[in-house]
A and B are shown apart, each in its own frame.
Chain A
Amino acid sequence: MSKIIKIRNLKKNIQQHSRTITILPSCSLSIHKGDMVAITGQSGAGKSTLLNIIGCLDQPSSGQYYLNQHDITDLSCTARSLLRKETFGYIFQQYWLINHLTVVENVELALLYRSGHCRSNREKARNALDQLGILSHAEHYPCQLSGGQQQRASIARAIITKPNILIADEPTGALDHDNSMQIMQILKEINRSHGTTVILVTHDREIAGMCNKRLPMETLFTKKEQLYAQA
């Protein structure tokens, strides 16, 4: 299988009161197309930062990031927006649905930005909600749903554009065990049936165990950084 993501010595620093703080030490990794990868690690290890950079939501301070063999390290904001729209789907720990829109409108939103206003958008959104078993809540507002239902709506929004890569930041972090298992089953099903590459971040071993591949953060750091981390 071809490498869909290749990262070399990627690093993220932030400036705080004239001090430079490293929030993601230099790390490297490769992810193949169709993989379902769990990035694990302790809190503060930089999992989410790495995932945000992979999902083009953030920009690295140094290093190289290749997506489908194209260097996208220094893309402009607009180019990253386009890439997000075309390639990625996002699932967040806190779901991040827009509160003043109904569930179906939230799901439809992803299509709206991809293909503009289209009569079929609403139908596609309803199908996606049906697929995730929350069609009956289509006209509800996010605040009227349970956590699990909101996360399903969030997944529906992420998969409706049929992205190549699904980015999930602690998708089960705010859910109970049963709901977590159900969400993971849905993600596995998406990965299996559509061949979507799923990259998720979790600190839950059980969740990580359900993925094809586990990438503990420590193993991603380059040698120098590993020594530093161990120390």
Chain B
Amino acid sequence: MHKLRTIIKGILSQRTRSMLSGIATLCATAIITCLIAFFYATTQQMADEMRTIQKNTKIVVHLHPSEQRQSQITYQDYLTSVRPAFKDRAIAASKKTYVHVYLDDKKRSGDYFEQIACDHDYLLAHNLSLSSGRFFHESEFPQSPFVVIGYDVAKKLSIDEQSSDPVSFFVAKQSHDVLGVINKQQDKFFYGQNNANRTIYTHLKTHHANLLALDEITVQISNPQESERVSDQVRLLLREKFPNVNYQITDMSQTAKQIQDYIAKIRFVLLAFGCISTLVASINITNSMYAIISERFQEIGIRLAIGATATQVKRLLLTETLLLALVSSALGMVLGELSNMILIKYLNWDYTWHIFAGPVSFIMMTVVCLLSCYAPLLRVDKINPIHAIQRV
């Protein structure tokens, strides 16, 4: 206890220097605690990622342009009342897509001109649209195509949605039966505008020539090492069989590798940051130690004169530094762990808090502190007691 008090007195005799060294050690320990935790977490994450990739390595071939992709646009939120005249005919699901409809074919514009696009499969998948009945397949009524119209259109054309009278009108010089009226929409937006009430929806009349049945091919690979070779083979096959089809191949293992490289870069930057922090702390401690020896030159001389060996003096200074390092590293460790907890909690960081990061950085910084003292302490060997006392 008495020895400890003497050591603390020694530390406090150089209050400012000791405080600066302590703060440097504290900050470095806190930073390193966070970095180690992050480093470990990302290592684990990358390992998990790699395991997943090893299990599910696949190549995805994206075929484009995909016509189906274009059709996957909504009017799924609109309820359509099927007019009574058509209810008994509502027996088969439509597989067709709605596209552009023009009231005035020549001008390609009109009061109710709107772009219409809807995939019926999509509607069905979302359990939408018709309050009763269904859409019709075009093939059921080849001579009498039909449309679904918006509320405003029905009003303008004076079509009573509840009426059983068959109603038809010409769209692009062709008579269309009105299948149903979409219920009045309030604040629904369609292509950025509230046009649903003013829209006529009809079947796709012209099929696109290049309509493709699929837009994505997934190739599962059992051996991740083979992914590049398989990609080349797929490329070759597509070139031979479908020379006009554009495509893009995404190799999942390549993607994973890119992510890994990216994370590795971040980790490298963080590692560099940690090293720089340690180096700065180490330089600060070394500098402070030189300053302390210089300022306590006379005291060292007195100690040497009254019989202390250089080793004893070095041991004393080292003990003081060690105590300071232990206290500030411990505080830094606590600060680092708290920072970790706060960062994970409030920033929703996707990594697990590993408490061992603190003790590791604590040990690391204590060792760094001791090593930083080595060079300055060598000066004690060269001190002549009487020169030190007289400050020559």
Contacts and interface: CB of A to CB of B under 8 A. Distances in A.
Contact of B307 (A77, A84, A92): A84
Interface string A80-118: 011011101010100011111100010001100110010
Interface string A148-186: 000000000110010000000000000000000000000
Interface stretch (B166-174, B308-316, B357-365): B308-316
A169 to B, nearest CB: 9
B350 interface: no
B13 A99 contact: yes
A122 interface: yes
A96 B300 CA distance: 11
B233 interface: no
Query: How many interface residues does chain B have, given as a range?
Result: 20 to 34
A97 B309 CA distance: 18
A78 B2 contact: no
A9 interface: no
A57 interface: yes
Interface string B286-317: 00000000000011011111111111100000
Contacts of B301: 96
A61 interface: no
A122 B303 CA distance: 18
A85 B384 contact: no
Interface residues of A, number: 29
B3 A77 contact: no
A47 B138 CA distance: 125
B386 A57 contact: yes
Contacts of B311: 78
A102 B30 CA distance: 36
B12 A161 contact: no
Contact of B309 (A58, A82, A88): A82
B51 to A, nearest CB: 57
Contacts of A99: 13, 299
Interface string A47-80: 0000010000110000000000000000001100
Interface string B133-156: 000000000000000000000000
Contacts of A92: 389
Contact of A98 (B299, B384, B385): B299
A110 B306 contact: yes
Contact of A100 (B13, B304, B312): B13
B11 to A, nearest CB: 10
B273 to A, nearest CB: 38
A77 B309 CA distance: 8
Given A57-B305, A96-B302, A81 B10 contact: no
B308 A113 contact: yes
A77 B310 contact: yes
A90 B385 CA distance: 12
B246 to A, nearest CB: 82
A78 B309 contact: yes
Contacts of A81: 304, 307-310
Nearest to B311: A78
A221 to B, nearest CB: 22
B164 interface: no
Contacts of B309: 78, 81-82, 85, 113
A213 B329 CA distance: 59
A105 B303 CA distance: 12
Contact of A58 (B9, B10, B308, B384): B384
A202 B304 CA distance: 24
B6 A105 contact: yes
Contacts of A158: 306
Given A77-B310, A81-B304, A96 B389 contact: yes
B19 to A, nearest CB: 16
A100 B308 CA distance: 18
Given A57-B385, A99-B13, A84 B299 contact: no
B381 A77 contact: yes
Contact of A78 (B3, B13, B298, B310): B310
B119 to A, nearest CB: 86
A113 B305 CA distance: 11
A117 B3 contact: yes
Contacts of A157: 306
B386 A52 contact: yes
Nearest to A14: B392
Contacts of B10: 100
B311 to A, nearest CB: 8
A152 to B, nearest CB: 16
A97 B389 CA distance: 11
Contacts of B381: 77
Contacts of B302: 96-98
B310 A109 contact: no
Contact of B2 (A100, A110, A122): A122
Closest 10 CB pairs of A and B: A85-B307, A100-B13, A57-B386, A81-B309, A113-B307, A113-B308, A52-B386, A110-B306, A96-B302, A100-B9
6 contacts: A77-B381, A84-B306, A85-B309, A96-B301, A101-B9, A109-B306
